[in-house]
Each structure stands twice: as C-alpha cells, then as structure tokens.
Amino acid sequence: MPTIGVIGGDGVGPEVVREGLAVLADVAEREGFRYDLVPFDLGGERYLKTGEVLPDKVVDDLRRCDALFLGAVGHPGVAPGILEKGILLRLRFEFHQYVNLRPVRLYPGVETPIKGKGPEEIDMVVVRENNEDLYVGAGGFTRKGTAEEVAIQTSINTRAGVERCLRYAFDLARSRGRERPYRGLSEEERGRGLVGQVTLVAKTNVLTFAHDLWMRAFTETARDYPEIKSDYQHVDACCMRMVVSPERFDVIATTNMFGDIITDLGAVLQGGMGLAASGNLNPARTAPSMFEPVHGSAPDIAGKGIANPIAAILSVAMLLDHLELPRASERIRRAVARVLAAGAPKTPDLGGRANTADVGQAVRNAFE
Ligand code: NAI
Ligand code: MG
C-alpha cells in the first residue's frame, strides 16, 4: 500500500490540497486501491513559531513515503527564499527529482487568451531540468553592501545531469507518439516514421559553454530515437512562438531557469495558474517524487476559499501516474474535462463565482 506524504504548506496550499485529497479518496474507492496519508506540517507558520524550515528528521520521514503531494510554500511574513529554497529546492535536490514535468494542455471549455487557438493547438509538455543550473546556489558576494559589491551566481550544467533529463524528454515524446502521433509533423515526416518531436529550448548563441554542452548532449541523445524529430529554439524565440503558434510544440526540454519562466507562459496558454499541474520526478525511484500545482501560495486570495483547486487535482492525477495507477489518473482527467466543458462551476480566476469546495465537489460528481 503506497504512502503519500502531504505538505499543505502556506496560503491557498492547504485549501487546494484538501480538494485534491477528497478527489483521491473518491477515485481510490471507485478503483479499489488503498493508500496511507502522512501529513507534514511545514511552511511559514511553523517557521515563524519555531524557527524550523525543514529539520533533517522530517527529511528522513518524507524519504520513506512513496510520493509527496505539496500545496505551495511562501508566506508574506517570511523573507523571500527562506521557505522556497529551504523546503522546495532542498527536497527537489535531496530526493534527486531531476525532472520537473509540466504539461500544458488546453481543455475544451477553457478560454485561452491566444486568439484563434484551441485544444487542438495547445497540447505540449515541458521537461524542465530540476537539479542544476542557476538554482544550485553556487555563488556569493564580495564587498557586500559597498559601492564595489560583486555578486556571482553560477549556472552548473553537468553532462550526466543534462543527458538524463534529455533522455526523459525523448522517452516521453516516444510514448506520447505511440498513443497519438504529434500533429505538427508533415505528411512526409510521418511517412518517414516520425511520431513525435523534442524541442531543445536554450540560448546557444550566448551561453556558449553551458548550452554548447546541452546541444551536444541533445544531438547525441537524439540518435537513439530515430522516430522523434529534434528541433531547437532559442528561449526568446520560443516565448514568441508559444504565443503565435503553440501547435509547433510537442515535448520541450529545457534548463531549470528557462523552464521556470516559460511554464508560467504555458500556464497562461492553458487558462491560468489555477489549471497548471506539475511533478518533480525522480525517474530512477531512489527517493519519492513530489507533485504540486505550479502556482504559489497566492496570498492575495488566501483564506477566501476561492482558489481554483483544479491544478492541485490534476497534480494528484500525475501522482497516480507515477504510482502506476493510470486508470485512476485518467478517470480524474476525464472528470476534470467534464466539469470544464460544462462551463460551471468556475472559480473567479476562470470568470465564475464558485468557491474552491464547489469545484472540488463538481469534479467528484463528474466521475462516471
Ligand atoms: P502565485 O502563483 O502564488 O500567484 C500568482 C497569481 O495567480 C496571483 O494573482 C494568485 O491569486 C493567482 N493564483 C495562484 N494560484 C491560484 C489558484 N489556485 N486559483 C486562482 N488564482 C490563483 O505567485 P506569487 O504571487 O508570485 O507568489 C506568492 C508566494 O508563493 C511567494 O511567496 C512565492 O515565493 C511562492 N511560490 C511558491 C511556489 C511553490 O510552492 N511551488 C511557486 C511559486 C511561488
Ligand atoms: Mg515559477
């Protein structure tokens, strides 16, 4: 029986996690599987009360779980970075969650701000490298606080770290292509047996060391996947194309920093932060993977009961994929699709007046 560690966290985190867990309970009953939940009290309140961010003992307890479900961390009373670095980044690194998987899929019934584009055009997945780059905290100050201050923050890129991430992206393109070949391929490309595409998003023209390594690893990895088309975009051009022609993308592989940025853009394409789900994956399964909505603690709406729980609910579906319960995860996605297609209930971020609990209940009612 799998053990799921639950970190509600701050702000809207616990509000959306509650709905995610209710959907999990419901689908488990229908599908006939069992699980244990272990709650973890982490986040801004604990830090303000005790000064503790993430004690080592808690890391050990989290490590014993099969998967983790996180709401969000980030508290208006705590300096930026303390919780995000101390909890989120530490878990991503210590548990070798080296892929941050972020599907960008527009569900029928959801409005995208991109004119003339619909669900057929917006269906991509971003594979963001999650353990390296500027996020490792390599750097420092000299002469801090003086007029001659120097600050350095170094991007770390290892061949092994880059390659395992790229391999994940190509494997994903292959399995997506098996299910349904990527529609952006030409007749001629399909005729040659291509089924999917991986786009490397980087900045090889400026980051001539780090992204040279990425490009070489990309070209060499691609040789093992003859049925996958390899494509390259500079990150700035990628931002433009995600808006102008999102159908150009199937799987995107990118660095930690660029992935962070382009997936907020991706979230907008799919209808907003309230709908964007993610997984921090340890594909080797040497430690638990962690599933969370892309959004943060949303202090501006916290406590009002109006946060959209769908991002958290879709994150539960990704968690169930990871636990190899694909029937359960598909059931959740179908239920979410029904609610969104019906156009109601909707939380205010989608233009409705419903509250968090109404939407969670509607998803549970939509199970077939
Ligand atoms: P945010 O994602 O919390 O909010 C951005 C905007 O989206 C806000 O207007 C918010 O109301 C809206 N929004 C977010 N989630 C929503 C939902 N479920 N339903 C409806 N509207 C939603 O990002 P922000 O404001 O930059 O950060 C707030 C705090 O969260 C900060 O402390 C930040 O560091 C932290 N954060 C934590 C993350 C995590 O735990 N993974 C990720 C991003 C930010
Ligand atoms: Mg972000």
Tens-place pLDDT, residues 113-126: 999 999 999 999 99
Q: Mean pLDDT across the stretch 101-115?
A: 97
Of 292, 297, 346, best ligand 1 pocket probe by most atoms within 8 Å of the beta carbon: 297
Please give the Cα distance from 187 to 189 (Å, whole number).
Answer: 5
Ligand nearest to the CA of 89: 1
Question: Which atom of ligand 1 is nearest the CA belonging to 71?
Answer: 40
Task: Quote the pLDDT of residue 177.
Answer: 98
Q: Is the pLDDT of residue 317 over 90?
A: yes
In this structure, what are the phi and psi dihedrals at residue 2, rounded to the nearest 5 degrees? -70, 150
Give the confidence band of 201 by pLDDT, cuts at 50, 70, 90.
very high
Establish whether residue 92 lines the binding site of ligand 1, counting it when its CB lies within 6 angstroms of any ligand atom.
no
CA-closest residue to ligand 1 atom 11 = 298
Of 270, 295, 310, 363, best ligand 1 pocket probe by most atoms within 8 Å of the beta carbon: 295
CA of 301 to the centre of ligand 1 (A): 9
Token code pair at residue 164 = 């395992």
Q: Mean pLDDT across the stretch 176-194?
A: 97
Say whether both 310 and 251 belong to one domain.
Answer: no
Say whether both 209 and 318 belong to one domain.
Answer: no
Give the confidence band of 53 by pLDDT, cuts at 50, 70, 90.
very high
Task: Quote the pLDDT of residue 181.
Answer: 96
Percent of the chain having pLDDT more than 90?
99
Mean predicted lDDT score pLDDT of the chain = 97
pTM of model > 0.90: yes
- How many other CB atoms are found less than 10 A from the CB of residue 237? 12
Say whether both 129 and 262 belong to one domain.
Answer: yes
Distant-in-sequence, close-in-space partners of 109: CB < 8 Å, separation ≥ 6: 340, 341, 342, 343
Say whether both 212 and 312 belong to one domain.
Answer: no
Say whether both 115 and 263 belong to one domain.
Answer: yes
Say whether both 130 and 265 belong to one domain.
Answer: yes
Q: Do the beta carbons of residue 78 and residue 11 sit within 8 Å?
A: no
Asked if residue 105 is part of any domain, the answer here is no
CA of 33 to the centre of ligand 2 (A): 33
Q: Do the beta carbons of residue 269 and residue 261 sit within 8 Å?
A: no
Asked if residue 293 is part of any domain, the answer here is yes
Residue 353: CA atoms inside 13 Å, Cβ hemisphere, count?
A: 0
In 3D, which of 113, 121, 336 has the Cα closest to residue 346?
Answer: 336
CA of 298 to the centre of ligand 1 (A): 4
- How many other CB atoms are found less than 10 A from the CB of residue 286? 9
Token code pair at residue 327 = 């029937």
Say whether both 254 and 286 belong to one domain.
Answer: no
Please give the Cα distance from 41 to 25 (Å, whole number).
Answer: 21
- How many other CB atoms are found less than 10 A from the CB of residue 175? 11
pLDDT, tens digit (0-9, with 9 covering 90-100), for 75-89: 999 999 999 999 999
Task: Quote the pLDDT of residue 150.
Answer: 98
CATH of the domain at 145: 3.40.718.10
3-state secondary structure of 306: coil
Task: Quote the pLDDT of residue 13.
Answer: 98
Quick one: which H or E segment has residue 105? strand 99-105
Please give the Cα distance from 191 to 181 (Å, whole number).
Answer: 12
Please give the Cα distance from 72 to 89 (Å, whole number).
Answer: 12
CA of 302 to the centre of ligand 1 (A): 10
Token code pair at residue 146 = 């003086």
Among candidate residues 235, 269, 303, the one where a domain is terminated: 269
Q: Mean pLDDT across the stretch 152-169?
A: 98
Among candidate residues 238, 269, 300, the one where a domain is terminated: 269
Task: Quote the pLDDT of residue 237.
Answer: 98
Ligand nearest to the CA of 308: 1
CA-closest residue to ligand 1 atom 36 = 296
Amino acid letter, residue 309: P
Q: Which domain holds residue 213?
A: 111-269
Say whether both 176 and 215 belong to one domain.
Answer: yes
CA-closest residue to ligand 1 atom 8 = 298
Question: Which atom of ligand 1 is nearest the CA belonging to 307?
Answer: 19
Task: Quote the pLDDT of residue 368.
Answer: 83
Q: Is the pLDDT of residue 146 over 90?
A: yes
Quick one: which H or E segment has residue 322? helix 310-322
Residue position matching structure tokens 């995208």: 112
Task: Quote the pLDDT of residue 266.
Answer: 97
Q: Is the pLDDT of residue 47 over 90?
A: yes
Asked if residue 251 is part of any domain, the answer here is yes
Q: Do the beta carbons of residue 51 and residue 20 sit within 8 Å?
A: no
Q: Mean pLDDT across the stretch 45-61?
A: 97
Handedness of CA 206, 165, 160, 155 (dihedral sign): positive
Q: Per the structure, how many domains does the chain have?
A: 2
Establish whether residue 359 lines the binding site of ligand 1, counting it when its CB lies within 6 angstroms of any ligand atom.
no
CA-closest residue to ligand 1 atom 42 = 296
Provide the phi-psi class of 167: left if phi over 0, else alpha when psi is between -120 and 50, else beta: alpha
Say whether both 236 and 293 belong to one domain.
Answer: no
DSSP H helices, 35-158, are: 44-50, 56-63, 82-83, 90-94
